[in-house]
Amino acid sequence: SSSSAAVAAAAAPPVPATAWVLNTWGGPFEAASSAAWGVLGSGGTALDAVVAGCSTCEANRCDTTVGYGGSPDEQGETTLDAMVMDGQTLDIGAVGALRGVRDAVAAARLLLER
């Protein structure tokens, strides 16, 4: 009904009119989109939102190929890769073949910032 839609709209955090969060999958991946929207709604940057969304998916193991405990490599070990880019500065942080790290996108962001 239109009243339930109005309540849902009122409960959603305000986000900039130009903000978009895109996700090609539903189900467990929707938590990543929700995390990203929450960051944007609280005044975070697009980079903050991307990292929050990806970190959520890594922590939740959205499927068997994402995050710590995902699909093993040829040696039977799970290794993680991630890359993030700041759209304002075009700076990039990337990591690959990480072992024993649970949040690869956060590690990539650390490299971007340093």
The model's pLDDT over 26-81, given as tens digits with 9 standing for 90+, comes to 888 899 999 999 999 899 999 999 999 999 988 888 877 777 778 888 888 888 99
Share of the chain above pLDDT 90, in %: 46
For residue 10, the model assigns a pLDDT of 53
Instruction: Decide if pLDDT at 21 tops 80.
Output: yes
List phi, psi (to 5°) of 8.
Answer: -65, -40
CA-based R_g, the chain, Å:
16
pTM above 0.85, yes or no: no
For residue 13, the model assigns a pLDDT of 59
E strand or H helix at 60, and its extent? helix 46-60
Read out DSSP for 67-107? STT----TTS---EEEEEE-TTT--EEEEEEE-S-S-HHHH
Mean pLDDT (whole number) for 99-113: 94
Instruction: Decide if pLDDT at 92 tops 90.
Output: yes
For residue 56, the model assigns a pLDDT of 93
Question: Contact, 67 vs 61, CB < 8 A?
Answer: yes
For residue 103, the model assigns a pLDDT of 93
List phi, psi (to 5°) of 83.
Answer: -145, 135
Question: Contact, 92 vs 84, CB < 8 A?
Answer: yes
